[in-house]
Chains A and B, each alone.
Chain A
């Protein structure tokens, strides 16, 4: 029985997904305002850590880091609709990479589990 991370293809799959995902985020007018003033390399590194986590890979996820990292954005209006948009773009990225719907649902559930931390609730 393979794990989600193994089925998705592990670290190389994360590498393949990060540019596609980040490009979708930057192109999406619903959420790209939150990413405007950010160093692109640093942002891509953060997205890589996030993708590794939601792919079920090895990670050092802490709700505390997630809260602190997004608190400034929550103050600027980051809310559920934006988290929904990110999860949608994550699904579209995986679809583009040929991932099965069941696995996409699992990734989306993992991403959704960070919602309250991201939104500092």
Chain B
């Protein structure tokens, strides 16, 4: 008896119905094109018994990892379709530093026990021994730093934050999976203005992307806007200010919500006033969904190109 789940939710499927049409009927926005098992646009992963015809044309490694083509897959038994993205083996990491950067921000530095290739700005999932899993952007620069750097926001009653603050010590072992996402520097943007906008720990990917861009010889101006609710939330501000003094083409614009003084105002306003010609630049927007989506839309309406508006929305743990 065929049955189907997507991302752990049950999806109705009729006898002899293919997986793609069942997903689409259930409102899943599954990419697809040929509907004939040829173009591989719908390539997905699943756990369960996958019929051989749904893996025709795939590599041995893909077949072993459960990749298949939903458009030509008529399941005979239960099939669990997984959300897209690489589900990689966990990599063990050793904790090499735990530092408080702000009252509610901790910097974790983790040394991978096996090679872990990534680009700064991508994210990984961090797993504690008791099974708490959270996603964090990677702030380190692989060419210069042997550790993976993450900035963890401490939330009241947050599980990961509580674990780090109360139980984690240097030398402990954790597991990471990834990397995920496409929020990283693209050398095709080398001559464009690069505008980095982050709120809170949205600075983590930007700190990685900024240093990646500089080390890859970015030639256009770079402007980094960092927003925080309190002045104390403007972590790494000394490092960023020093970098701005050192590099003529880099500007650091700190913004504290509702404050008076040098870093006055909210980050959205600062960006929209500070970027009078949005169409020329390439953007990275990182932080909470409300702010990121608002700024993205506003920049697009002012002429920024959608393909150059890269955004990474930090979702609260459910």
Please determine whether chains A and B interact with each other in the same assembly: yes
Q: For residue B305, which residues in chain A have a CB less than 8 angstroms away from its CB?
A: 19
Contact A42 B29 (CB under 8 A): yes
Please tell me if B296 contacts chain A, counting CB pairs below 8 Å. Answer: yes
Please tell me if B180 contacts chain A, counting CB pairs below 8 Å. Answer: no
Contact A40 B29 (CB under 8 A): no
Contacts A40-B296, A42-B29, A60-B33 known; 18 new A-B pairs at CB < 8 A: A18-B306, A19-B300, A19-B305, A19-B306, A22-B300, A22-B306, A23-B300, A23-B301, A23-B303, A26-B297, A26-B300, A26-B301, A27-B301, A40-B297, A40-B306, A41-B306, A44-B306, A60-B35
Binding site for B on A (CB under 8 A): 18-19, 22-23, 26-27, 40-42, 44, 60
Q: For residue B303, which residues in chain A have a CB less than 8 angstroms away from its CB?
A: 23
What is the 8 Å Cβ interface bit string for chain B, positions 254-298, against chain A (1 contact, 0 not)? Answer: 000000000000000000000000000000000000000000110
Binding site for A on B (CB under 8 A): 29, 33, 35, 296-297, 300-301, 303, 305-306, 309
A86–B147 alpha-carbon span in the complex (Å): 51
- Return 8 A-B CB contacts under 8 Å, by A number: A18-B306, A22-B306, A23-B301, A26-B297, A27-B301, A40-B296, A40-B306, A60-B33
Q: For residue B309, which residues in chain A have a CB less than 8 angstroms away from its CB?
A: 40
10 tightest Cβ-Cβ pairs between the two chains A and B: A44-B306, A19-B306, A27-B301, A19-B305, A42-B29, A26-B301, A23-B301, A23-B300, A40-B306, A40-B296
Q: For residue A41, which residues in chain B have a CB less than 8 angstroms away from its CB?
A: 306
Closest approach, in angstroms, between the C-beta of B30 and any C-beta of chain A? 11
A44–B297 alpha-carbon span in the complex (Å): 12
Q: For residue A26, which residues in chain B have a CB less than 8 angstroms away from its CB?
A: 297, 300-301
**Closest residue of A by beta carbon distance from B31:** A45
A52–B191 alpha-carbon span in the complex (Å): 31
A22–B303 alpha-carbon span in the complex (Å): 11
A92–B235 alpha-carbon span in the complex (Å): 47
Contact B300 A40 (CB under 8 A): yes
**Closest residue of A by beta carbon distance from B29:** A42
A27–B296 alpha-carbon span in the complex (Å): 14
Closest approach, in angstroms, between the C-beta of B238 and any C-beta of chain A? 35
A18–B307 alpha-carbon span in the complex (Å): 11
Closest approach, in angstroms, between the C-beta of A73 and any C-beta of chain B? 14
Closest approach, in angstroms, between the C-beta of A60 and any C-beta of chain B? 7
**Closest residue of A by beta carbon distance from B35:** A60
Q: For residue A22, which residues in chain B have a CB less than 8 angstroms away from its CB?
A: 300, 306
Closest approach, in angstroms, between the C-beta of B18 and any C-beta of chain A? 15
**Closest residue of A by beta carbon distance from B300:** A23
